[in-house]
Amino acid sequence: MRIALIAHDKKKDLMVRLATAYEPILQQHELFATGATGQRIMDATDLRIEKMKSGPLGGDQQIGALISENKIDLVIFLRDPLTAQPHEPDVNALIRLSDVYEIPLATNIGTAEMLLRGLQAGFLDWRKTIVELKERPMNL
Ligand SMILES: O=C(CO)COP(=O)(O)O
């Protein structure tokens, strides 16, 4: 599965703790992240991550573009609901696109843990079917 990891600044320590705790699960998947989040996780773990630009510089939009191309299966976005973000429209657009494309999205640590455990238990295997169907050429 292709997993996007994103955290606002005040949630980055939490994201690093999550990635460290769930490293055995995460290392089985293809990981993407916004710039600073990806760097923090890579500094703290042995995970390999494809880094986008930093969120305020377009990273959220890059992840959103991947979602729209059916290239992301799960999003963990530890948002900071108590701090105004200069790129709030990008944040909202990413969340909106996750809903448009029915991509499982966690915006807090409680849900993130549920999704990662569900992923390991096979609860997200339906995504493989969707991806295969969408990639199958149409016989017109
Ligand atoms: O701002 C972000 C998400 O909106 C995260 O970006 P960084 O991971 O580059 O800090």
3-state secondary structure 47-95: CCEEECCCHHHCHHHHHHHHHHCCCCCEEEEECCCCCCCCCHHHHHHHH
User: Is-above-0.80 flag for pTM?
Assistant: yes
Q: Would you say the CB of residue 58 lies under 6 angstroms from ligand 1?
A: no
- The pLDDT tens digits for 65-84 are 999 999 999 999 999 999 99
Specify the pLDDT at position 18. Answer: 98
**Average pLDDT for residues 16-33, to the nearest whole number?**
98
The residue annotated as part of the active site, out of 60, 73, 90, 99, is: 60
pLDDT of residue 134: 80
Active site residue 80: no
Angle at 31 between CA 47 and CA 113, to 5 degrees: 85
Task: Evaluate if residue 132 carries a pLDDT over 90.
Answer: no
ipTM of the complex: 0.98
Q: Look at residue 29 and tell me whether its pLDDT is greater than 80.
A: yes
CB distance 73 to ligand 1 below 6 Å: no
Mark residue 110 as left, alpha or beta (left: phi above 0; alpha: psi -120 to 50; beta: remaining). alpha
Whether the pLDDT of residue 140 is over 70: the answer is: no
Give the pLDDT band of residue 138 (cuts 50, 70, 90). low
Cβ of residue 56 lying under 6 Å from some atom of ligand 1: yes
Q: How far is the CA of 12 from the centre of ligand 1 (A)?
A: 9
pLDDT tens digits along 45-55: 999 999 999 99
What was the pLDDT predicted at 139? 60
CATH number of 2-135: 3.40.50.1380
Please state at what angle helix 59-68 crosses helix 88-100, rounded to 10 degrees: 10
> Ligand 1: distance of its center to the CA of 14 in Å?
14
What is the average pLDDT score of the chain? 96
